[in-house]
Homo-oligomer: A and B are copies of this chain.
Amino acid sequence: MLISPEELNSYDRFYRANLINSLSGFKSASLIGTKNKEGISNLAIFSNIVHLGADPALIGFVNRPLEAAPHTLANIESTGFYTINHIHIDWVDKAHQTSAKYPEGVSEFNACGFTEEYVEGFTAPFVKESVIKYGMKLKEIIPIKHNNTFFVIGEVVIISVPENSIAADGFIEADKANSICSLGIDGYYSTELIARLPYAKAK
């Protein structure tokens, strides 16, 4: 079926949100860990994360408008550092639970049953339960004027990944480490390798 702009506008808010959120396809939902200046940690699930480049190693993510999601962005702005932690298939429900609104001063690490983990010389908290995770240094926060979201760009400064999850050519086999992906607002998926394909050349 074809859905026109008029039909799209006629849908109720929740139907439309589910439709548009899932339209762009599967996403690398992960937990972002931060700390504020007072030392209170924060953990929140983010699903719109993109690779920007390998050298420098840049990764971007979309932060919703401030009224919906203020803490992660404020902590990144004030400290300059954050962690991104893959979600494991065994605790998808706990990861999803970080999207709940907790009272000021409550850390989602405690509230949702995760363990803070620290790496020497890096101030932001990692998720101990995550198998694949990386520490980021803020490069730039770009406000998106069309809907008050933010595109947050950071540089990868430290990586934690099991040696046996890295193939001989550097490829991280996230499926074998049981990292999940997401779809829409609330769908979580495991993955199965179809193929790794050789560099494409014009025939």
A residues in contact (CB < 8 Å) with B? 1-5, 8, 11, 13-30, 47-60, 62, 84, 86, 89, 92-93, 96-103, 106, 111, 119, 132, 134, 139-140, 142, 144-147, 149, 151, 153, 156-163, 166-167, 169-172, 174-175, 179-181, 183-184, 186-203
Q: Which of B23, B27, B171 contacts A132 (CB 8 A)?
A: B23
Q: Which of B11, B60, B200 contacts A100 (CB 8 A)?
A: B200
The 4 A-B pairs of least Cβ separation, nearest first, read A25-B28, A18-B170, A15-B170, A26-B181
- A89 CB to nearest chain B CB (Å): 6
- A13 CB to nearest chain B CB (Å): 7
- In the complex, the chain B residue whose C-beta lies closest to that of A191 is B189
- In the complex, the chain B residue whose C-beta lies closest to that of A184 is B171
- A148 CB to nearest chain B CB (Å): 9
Task: Give every chain B residue within 8 A of A132 (Cβ-Cβ).
Answer: 23, 25
Contact B14 A169 (CB under 8 A): yes
Q: Give the interface SS of chain A, mostly helix, strand, loop or mixed.
A: mixed
24 contacts across the A-B interface (CB closer than 8 A): A2-B119, A17-B54, A18-B169, A18-B172, A19-B166, A20-B57, A23-B156, A25-B29, A25-B49, A48-B52, A49-B50, A53-B149, A56-B146, A58-B146, A92-B195, A96-B197, A100-B203, A140-B146, A171-B183, A181-B181, A186-B197, A186-B198, A189-B192, A191-B192
Q: CA separation between A59 and B18, bound complex, in Å?
A: 14
A25, A47, A48, A200: residue with the most chain B Cβ atoms closer than 10 Å: A25
Contact A162 B3 (CB under 8 A): no
A147 and B51 in contact (CB under 8 A), knowing A174-B183, A196-B186? no
